[in-house]
Amino acid sequence: MLKGKVAIVTGGTRGIGFSTVQTFLDNGAKVALCGSRQETVDKALQKLKAVNPDYDAIGFATDLLDTKDVKKLIGDVVAKWGTLDILVNNAGIGNSTPLYDQVEGEFAKVIALNVQAVYNCTKEASEIMRQNHSGVILNTSSMVSLYGQPAGCGYPTSKFAVNGLTKSLARELAKDGIRVNAVAPGVIATDMVEALGEEMKARLAKTIPLGRFGEAQDIANAFLFLASDLASYVTGEILSVDGATMT
């Protein structure tokens, strides 16, 4: 579905990001994965090569809040593969600290990585995409971007902002042939969810109409669809993948 396409996936070393990287590779894309530390980037690449030595994948440890570092990332990818077709802004951090317990800088840290980094990468990538009058920008949102959450106001605030960027840039960049969409995951089976224990997991699963947690692959599949030509007339959408939790 993505044969010959060149993609960058931030936050691509584990979880949803890693599954998205592998799914894109399985569908013919060339993929640059990004992580915050070289160690985790190297480990992710080794894991991919163990699955398929022929995967066309490279990795970067990039500070997404440093515009010079982001510019270098985009430049290095284009220098290697000649273009950039797909950007997945997946890097981010969560937060569930109650308002009264938050320390100075905690809110700003969440907003910086979850919003400013998305903006930085999108701006640099779109400059390349508009030259080809073609491109896809995909953002990781969250089900709490629609309804908020009971503690940790910075995280849903950041995801509301991601939705705003998605919808606004979809309208602005359409003239340049660039589509912009987001995926809003529900409760996904991650290491953090596993740590809750069996009883808590069972109680949580009962709140989901489909009766189970989502898998990282479920989100990767949504990104695959939105990145492909099957979604050529889809832009400005926030696609919920949450088992009807927020319906």
Residue 119 annotated in active site: no
Residue 59 near residue 34 (C-beta atoms within 8 A): yes
Q: Where are the alpha helices (DSSP H) in 149-197?
A: 154-173, 191-194
- Rounded to an integer, what distance in angstroms lies between the CA atom of residue 61 and that of residue 72? 11
Residue 32 near residue 59 (C-beta atoms within 8 A): yes
From the list 119, 147, 155, 233, the catalytic residue is 155
Q: Which residues touch 241 (CB under 8 Å, ≥6 apart)?
A: 183, 184, 185, 186, 214, 218, 219, 222
Residue 128 near residue 82 (C-beta atoms within 8 A): no
- Rounded to an integer, what distance in angstroms lies between the CA atom of residue 89 and that of residue 74? 13
Which residues have a catalytic role annotated?
155
